[in-house]
Amino acid sequence: MVATGVALKLAQDADLDLVEVAPDARPPVAKLMDFGKFKYESDMKAREARRKQANTLLKEIRFRLKIDPHDYATKKGHVERFLSAGDKVKVMIMFRGREQSRPEMGVRLLQRLADDVAELGFVESMPKQDGRNMTMVLGPVKKKAEAKSEQRKRSAEVNAQRKTKSEVKAEARARAAQDGDGEQPEPATEPAAEPATSSAAPKPGGPKPGPASR
């Protein structure tokens, strides 16, 4: 245990700060440190923790009992995208009119969807009917953090490929410039002069030459 005045003198001599780290302790605990560096490192750790923190969201998508193949494929694509991102998906089937008396058709549709996306998700909550609706919850196979990590890796690979292509183009331009500097321009040649004729051709419509006089 060191007196406060002595601790302050030690901090001043070491060019450090005297920071109270446990004020509720008896006696209170203080530490000699570079408070600016400590604050910076604490902020960086908190930022890294927030970046790694994964909040799983619950997405919702709705189906009709009588859905055509195109709409089913489109909605299934949305479910696959949500599961790939590490989010849960609440699938809801809305019954209309007499469809409420055929809940087994809704169960078959939900089971079909679960089988189609089995590689990306699993049934977390089995189908259950609630009034005019039937719901089922699908959970992602990969956790949110893993999905984000894979997404960052894919983005890095795409950026690396783009960088490689740009480097190839730059090298091709450099080689083209070198080839252009190495070529010597060919000397210009003047066109050959045509031989001159001794007599001019008569003009059309002009007088014809007469007989020579003796």
Q: What are the domain boundaries of the chain? A: 4-52, 58-145
Q: Give the model's confidence band at 200: pLDDT under 50 very low, under 70 low, under 90 confident, else very high.
A: very low
Residue 93's H or E segment, with its range, is strand 88-94
- pLDDT value at residue 204: 53
Q: Are 138 and 83 in contact (CB under 8 A)?
A: yes
Is a pLDDT exceeding 60 seen at residue 188?
A: no
- pLDDT value at residue 61: 93
CATH architecture, domain defined by 58-145: 2-Layer Sandwich (3.30)
**Shortest CA distance to 123 belongs to which of 95, 88, 82, 153?**
88
Instruction: Find out if CATH 3.90.1300.10 is the number for domain 4-52.
Output: no
Q: Give the model's confidence band at 63: pLDDT under 50 very low, under 70 low, under 90 confident, else very high.
A: very high
Quick one: CA torsion of 103, 107, 113, 119, rounded to 10 degrees?
A: 160
The model scores a pTM over 0.75: no
Percent of the chain with pLDDT over 90: 29
Is a pLDDT exceeding 70 seen at residue 138?
A: yes
Residues near 144 by Cβ (< 8 Å), separated by ≥ 6? 54, 55, 56, 85, 86, 87
Among the residue ranges 5-9, 126-130, 165-169, 186-190, the one predicted with the least confidence is 186-190
- pLDDT value at residue 181: 60
